[in-house]
Amino acid sequence: MSYDKRVIKLQENIYAVRGIWLNGFSFFNTYSYILCSEKNNEILLIDTCGPGSGSMINHAVEVMGRSMTDITGIALTHWHKDHTGSLAEVVSMAGTPDKPVKIFIHKEDAPILLSQKIKLLTMHPSLRMKMPHGPGKLPRKGLFSLVELAPESGENPLDAYDVEFIHTPGHTPGHTSYLYRRSMSLFSGCGLSLFGRNTVGVVPVFYNRDKQVESAKKLADMEFSYLYPAHLNVRRDEIKRENRVPFKGKIKSIDRITGTLPVFRYPKS
């Protein structure tokens, strides 16, 4: 099977992999991002997509001219299986007992990942349907070390990659977005998603809707040049703050039906 159509070159050192969502399906686009940091020349992977995406990520790393053992860190936006499902697969190819892969995750989401327990997700702000969901399988012991992100500590364990972490709760308690400072590239996870070609907004799955919307607006007002969401669409062009038009007016019927919420728009590419 050829994975070439699933690999997207975004910048010289940033590639996207359109992996598997859940249950072997790509029901909607789900991305893992490969960042080769210009600061340390090591690879930081942002999310791993759903189970079965490991070989796709491996192929993308090879397309970059690198090896899976160059992956020294995996930054998780949150614990959901469509983001952590290939964690064990990737670490089995990247980690060794002498060089375990660092897995970064917010301290509020870490216990869910470690416990491997099923949780109930809330879907749709009006219907509030409850659906069971679990985290991805943990890698084999000895091949990884877990690094809990704690904003209040004032420490940044991702500084070696020139990456900042931003706590953006709402989708999950510990949902985290990541900013690569060198190119001001924002990996928003589910904090912001790109609907169609030019509408950025909030997905209908949440832990706390008010916090989810608050976090999305915080991200929308941040200084960044490129937006790389975890789901739906991705664009290569810049999305500077002065070009973002905040959403105003009546919410469309389609957004009410799907439970999505537009936050801002920017010019079509």
The full DSSP string for 242-263 is GG-EE--SPPPHHHHHHT-EEE
Name the phi and psi angles at 163, rounded to 5: -120, 135
Q: Which of 17, 4, 70, 12 is nearest to 47 (CA)?
A: 17
Average pLDDT over residues 89-104: 97
Percent of the chain topping pLDDT 90: 90
Burial of 132 (0-12, 13-18, 19+ CB in 10 A): exposed
Specify which residues 193 forms β-bridges with.
Answer: 201
Q: Which CATH architecture has domain 4-265?
A: 4-Layer Sandwich (3.60)
Mean pLDDT for the chain? Answer: 95
- Per-residue pLDDT for 200 more than 90? yes
Average pLDDT over residues 126-144: 96
C-alpha 249, offset from chain centre: 29
How wide is the angle at C-alpha 36 spanned by C-alphas 7 and 199, nearest 5°?
55
Average pLDDT over residues 105-130: 96
The count of C-alpha atoms lying within 13 angstroms of the C-alpha of 6, restricted to the half-sphere facing its C-beta, is 26
Look at residue 1 in the predicted model and tell me its pLDDT. 60
How wide is the angle at C-alpha 147 spanned by C-alphas 144 and 149, nearest 5°?
155
Look at residue 250 in the predicted model and tell me its pLDDT. 87
Look at residue 96 in the predicted model and tell me its pLDDT. 95
